[in-house]
Structure 1
Amino acid sequence: MSTSAENPAAAPVGDWCGADPFAPDFRDDPYPALHRLREQDPVNLTPVNTWRISRYDDVAAIFKVAKTSQTATDGTAPNFDPLDQRGSFLEFMLNKDDPEHKRLRRLAAQSLSGKTVRLMEDEVKSSVRNAMDTALKQGGMEIIADMAHYVPSRMMCQIMGVPEKDRQLFNEWTAARTNAFFARFLPPDVQKRTRDAGCAMADYFEDLVRVRRKALGDDMVSALIRAEDEGDKLRDGELVVQAIGIIIAGYETTIGMIGNGLRAFLDHPDQLEILRKDPELIVNACEECLRYDTPILFNWRVLAEPFEVGGKLLPTDAVIWQMLGSANRDPARFPDPDKFDIRRKDVAHQAFGGGIHFCIGNALARMEARHAINEFAQRTKGLRIEQGKLEWSHSFFRVMASLPITFH
């Protein structure tokens, strides 16, 4: 992948400071570069005229104090590909401000409530137990396909009303579609793959909506249709865009949470042993996994009015990239931040974002990760685990496509 600095539409006005998030090798291990960025230029103007905020307290201030929007004052979305129309995230709740955001989030929240999480917990337990039964019989597993992808994809498709037979269709679609959030800065071939995925997903959900209108179910698509019937009208295409955005969020981020978390334990067998001996640590362990290696390294906001951060006054319409991966390893906030420590106290990471756009599916993701990681830990006692070759997915997020392991 070429770097965004090569994009002729982006006039160089700043410096990547050795931490170009679009460079081919950045996500292999972004943390040394993020450390340098945070130390050398914590409020950094990039070559594409965006501002990167990399200290924990500064990121928190953007979420909690600054008056922000998801779009510029002229209504444009700063990161999106203008050619990307079908299934466009311009109408997705993540790109909306209140009151539109609140309206759309309220409709979706009904299907991602604590009650939903509790109802699905037994099925999650069964899924991870079956995954480990198979892995132990076979002497190994593909961490992503057999666990990190398998569990959340099944749960998310059930929530959305996608039939089990169609689940595999979303493997490539969801990974490719994550790039839409920052597509303006990506190479043409990636932009095209992103647009193609959007069209395919729009086709799928338009068909699914037609089916559900004839026979409503207990899924989120049906709930959105019922909301229309009860007077909370969605604009043309809005229902489909919400479905696309939610299933992507439910797939990709949870794949990353489980996959990156299991990889952290494989790389730190001492921590795996601690969890095996004290499974009650699993709640704190999952929070530490998110702090240590979050699947979303950065997200964005747009300043709705000037805001001073890190001694710099940023203007209205400044595009802010909050570097969550950097904030989560800020030594001013976390002692020994590069250490993976599941006994760490006060793991107040920012992996789920903040403010009104705090991750709507965080309870479901946390529940799935707790069962997946703890089942893996307890069922592999006494085994030596050998890692195979890691491969990254096409996702914009820091999500693996493959990590085979062998049990000995």
Structure 2
Amino acid sequence: MTSAIDTSIPVDTGDWCGADPFAPNFRDDPYPSLHALRARDPVNLTPVNTWRISRYDDVATIFRKAKTSQTLADGTAPNFDPLDTRGSFLEFMLNMDDPEHQRLRRLAMQSLGPNTVRQMEDEVKKTVEQTLDKALAQGGMEIIQDMAHLVPSRMVCQIMGIPESDRELFNEWTGARTNAFFARFLPPDVQQRTRDAGNAMADYFENLVRERRGNLGNDLISALIRAEAEGDKLRDGELVVQAIGIIVAGYETTIGLIGNGTRAFLDHPEQLALLREDPGLINNAIEECLRYDTPILFNWRVLQEPFEVSGKILPADAVLWMMLGSANRDPARFPEPDRFDIRRRDVAHQAFGGGVHFCLGNALARMEARHAIGQFALRTKGIEIRQGKLEWSHSFFRVMAQLPITFH
């Protein structure tokens, strides 16, 4: 057993147990293989020398109690492509430890906190209403592009100060860029596409930062620039990395939440009927969507000191892959975990991670999904909905590229 990833080549140290997250068909339906993994080897040493933690209680315990970092003891990132240096997520707040993490998170929260959620809610409502008006008039819609993508992309671009005319530029960039989080394990063509997206986004935000320095506005980029005057100076490169990371997170995870959540309702029409009958269930329904089919199946932590997990002592510098999708379907925590039930009690899912890196945009994502899915349910009452062919995106996250539906 070694204590850290060998960053040269993968080594055959463990077993995927039939649940290889990099296999082409894994994303189609990962849950049967995650069930088998959790039952067979819940603290699993993989062939690439990382540890997968798949039980709910183990994941929760590590988030609460283990002393962890986002990087190895030598400061390198365990999952990143070492050739991907421009706009690298190595300096993104998600990959940093305190106090740097808290400094950057505090600055970002100025534009992503509760005040922003309240301010953006009317715009979300209007966008959803216009989208559904058009869909009902046309007799159908493409769920991902027309709703799941449109709502969060429009909101995050407004928050960051990106002109509406430039919003479409990020359609391909953000999906490709999610692969940076685990790029070391991906094929060369995916790695190159990820680097190209990083370069394009870095070019864009370097130009936008220069513009904002001469013309500050009421947006996140301007807020980060203003922080310099208050003693929280950000280097240009550091500011650009935060901008790239925030827009990737703001786009892709909420696309997954709205898209996967809507699909869950389409696959379970009795639950869709239940929400129509009782719209007050929408908050619990969103939590059940997050539990049932989370957009991020796993994230990572690095142990800073040995820690016992289900009887195994994992060494310092061990890289842990926290299997959020598996934890959310753990039968020891959730009765009938494969059942989609919007009246489920105590939906304490792990979809937003845990500890100090708990998703800072969770309130915004929940609000957007609440209006998108809630209004979709109400406005399509009494209408038969037929699904077309599902396609997955290039995103590393569990995000669809398209899901057309027709109304009859």
TM-score by structure 1 length?
0.98
Amino acid at match of 1:196: D
Amino acid at match of 1:168: E
2:13 maps to: 13
1:256 paired to 2:256: yes
Equivalent residue pairs, number: 402
Give 1:235 deviation, angstroms.
2.9
2:244 maps to: 244
Give 1:62 deviation, angstroms.
1.0
| SS of match in other structure, 2:112 | coil
1:352 maps to: 352
Give 1:236 deviation, angstroms.
4.2
What is the rounded CA distance, in whole Å, between the counterparts of 2:8 and 2:84 in structure 1? Answer: 19
Amino acid at match of 1:349: H
Amino acid at match of 2:290: L
| SS of match in other structure, 2:224 | helix
Amino acid at match of 1:101: H
1:170 maps to: 170
1:280 maps to: 280
Deviation per CA, 1:234-262, whole angstroms, max 9, x where unpaired? 13400000000000000000000000000
1:404 paired to 2:404: yes
Superposition map of 1:1-400 within 5 A: 9-400=9-400
2:4 maps to: none
What is the rounded CA distance, in whole Å, between the counterparts of 1:101 and 1:123 in structure 2? Answer: 30
What is the rounded CA distance, in whole Å, between the counterparts of 1:161 and 1:369 in structure 2? Answer: 22
What is the rounded CA distance, in whole Å, between the counterparts of 1:61 and 1:347 in structure 2? Answer: 17
| SS of match in other structure, 1:386 | strand
What is the rounded CA distance, in whole Å, between the counterparts of 1:20 and 1:97 in structure 2? Answer: 29
What is the rounded CA distance, in whole Å, between the counterparts of 2:345 and 2:231 in structure 1? Answer: 47
| SS of match in other structure, 1:121 | helix
Unaligned runs of 5+ in 2: 1-6
Give 1:310 deviation, angstroms.
1.1
1:3 maps to: none
Amino acid at match of 1:37: L
Amino acid at match of 1:261: G
Deviation per CA, 1:9-57, whole angstroms, max 9, x where unpaired? 1011100000000000000000000000000000000000000000000
| SS of match in other structure, 2:332 | coil
Change in 2 beyond 3 A, CA 1:19/1:197: same
What is the rounded CA distance, in whole Å, between the counterparts of 2:58 and 2:69 in structure 1? Answer: 17
Give 1:391 deviation, angstroms.
0.4
Deviation per CA, 1:294-333, whole angstroms, max 9, x where unpaired? 0000000000000000110000000000000000000000
| SS of match in other structure, 1:64 | helix
1:4 maps to: none
Deviation per CA, 1:158-177, whole angstroms, max 9, x where unpaired? 00000000000000000000
Deviation per CA, 1:180-225, whole angstroms, max 9, x where unpaired? 0000000000000000000000000000001100100000000000
TM-score by structure 2 length?
0.98
| SS of match in other structure, 1:352 | coil
- Taking only the aligned residue pairs, the percentage that are identical comes to 81
| SS of match in other structure, 1:141 | strand
What is the rounded CA distance, in whole Å, between the counterparts of 2:113 and 2:183 in structure 1? Answer: 31
Unaligned runs of 5+ in 1: 1-6
Q: Give the conservation status (yes or no) of the 8 Å contact 2:384–2:407.
A: yes
What is the rounded CA distance, in whole Å, between the counterparts of 1:208 and 1:19 in structure 2? Answer: 42
What is the rounded CA distance, in whole Å, between the counterparts of 2:104 and 2:239 in structure 1? Answer: 9
What is the rounded CA distance, in whole Å, between the counterparts of 2:319 and 2:57 in structure 1? Answer: 18
Cα RMSD after superposing both structures: 0.8
Give 1:230 deviation, angstroms.
2.1
Amino acid at match of 2:252: E
What is the rounded CA distance, in whole Å, between the counterparts of 2:128 and 2:264 in structure 1? Answer: 18
| SS of match in other structure, 2:190 | helix
What is the rounded CA distance, in whole Å, between the counterparts of 1:352 and 1:131 in structure 2? Answer: 27
Give 1:8 deviation, angstroms.
8.3
Amino acid at match of 1:270: E
What is the rounded CA distance, in whole Å, between the counterparts of 2:312 and 2:258 in structure 1? Answer: 37
